[in-house]
Amino acid sequence: MTGEARNPSDDAGPLDGVTVLDASRVLVGPFCTMQLGDLGADVIKVERPETGDQTRHWHPPRYGDAEESAYYMSVNRNKRSITLNLQSEAGREVFRDLASEADVLVENFRVGAMEDWDLGYEDLREDNPGLVYCGLSGYGEWGPDADRPAYDIIMQAEGGMMSITGEDGGAPVRVGVAIADIGAGMYATQAILAALLERELGDGTGQKLDVSLLDGQVAWMSYMASNYFATGESPGRMGSKHPTIAPYQAFETADGYVVVACASEHIWPRLCEALDRPDLAADPRFESNADRVENREELDAVLDAAFAEMTTDEALDLLADHDVPASDVKDMAAVFDNPQVEARGMHRSVDHPTAGEVEMAGSPMHFSRTPTSVRQHPPRLGEHTDDVLREYGYTDEDIERLREESGV
């Protein structure tokens, strides 16, 4: 709880003892709070009675006989679900009770909704000055677009991602997962952890955090943004190619693709040797990376022809023999059949009451003393309502009354 000393054991995550009140749904918020749960926090997921998080119903696909979608399962492990009707004053009063003892609150309602319910940061900090309150939204809490609805594909378009994604001369393409949501969820996690650390190092006071999908996408433009500022020219789409490194791209083989990363001057001669093309290493057009970028069209023609004569496996073997970084393009089946992925604990599973064993991607955060874990299955709707309310002092009679008054 807020203000109490924490001493996680060697079998608990680094956030063991931290309570997170999760009033978010769909992806950006749940992805953030799943990370906090993986790190050991007790995440209490607050959902609408009867329907819950919208993604519960985004199926097919789903696991076995589970009512919930695979989408929902992917970002809701290590949480406990309770149902509260925040449209009712009785439901809001319970929420305030939970928030009064929480360390972190995460919400992604439309901007201003929590304030309309008297559940905003200024309302809740009166009873809990140590609260770290994270509001997630599409455009942020101020600015001319603050009230606009936001969806991942719109954010990828507005933030510049789609302008640089896709083939040269082709249509704009969104990144294949909802990268604007996931990116903002990562920034939110980072901000929450920083705020918790500042609270512990300071006087115990929490603060309000404002994280938006658009801001995250703009920040992720990184060197593409700098390239624009340096030249005044907006970068365009280049497929798998890199604007300042060559060759660094996918090449079509006789039966698929091979991805090659010639990311240093030391690798280029090894690539030429692997292809049995010493003439390329001696060619002044390709002597340095800057030369290769400037003469990319001529270089691509030569390399395209060379790789087209090989199968993907032949190319990978040849490149591996000459220590040239390369990979095939793996689909999901190949990713989770990869021994390296397995060795790193990135293929996990958890037992579910109706779906049986649910497989999922693991956590990429590894600690020597306080490991992350997959402890709890993605909860069924309201699965923990009674248990959580009892922990906060509600009697069975109180819970029954709440069900009658507000549909808890």
User: Beta partners for 212?
Assistant: 137
Cα three-residue angle 67-330-378, rounded to 5 degrees: 25
Options 22, 42, 181, 215, the catalytic residue:
181
Tokens read off for 88 = 């009712």
Residue 255 annotated among the catalytic residues of the structure: no
HSE (side-chain half, CA atoms, 13 Å) at 351: 1
CA-nearest of 193, 21, 16 to 101 is: 21
The Cα 268–Cα 246 span in angstroms is 9
CA-nearest of 167, 137, 170 to 155 is: 137
User: Within 10 Å of residue 7's Cβ, how many Cβ atoms?
Assistant: 7
Can you point out the beta strands (E) in 24-174? Answer: 42-47, 79-83, 104-107, 132-137
The Cα 51–Cα 116 span in angstroms is 22
Residue-level length of the chain: 408
The Cα 119–Cα 96 span in angstroms is 7
Q: Which residues carry out catalysis?
A: 181
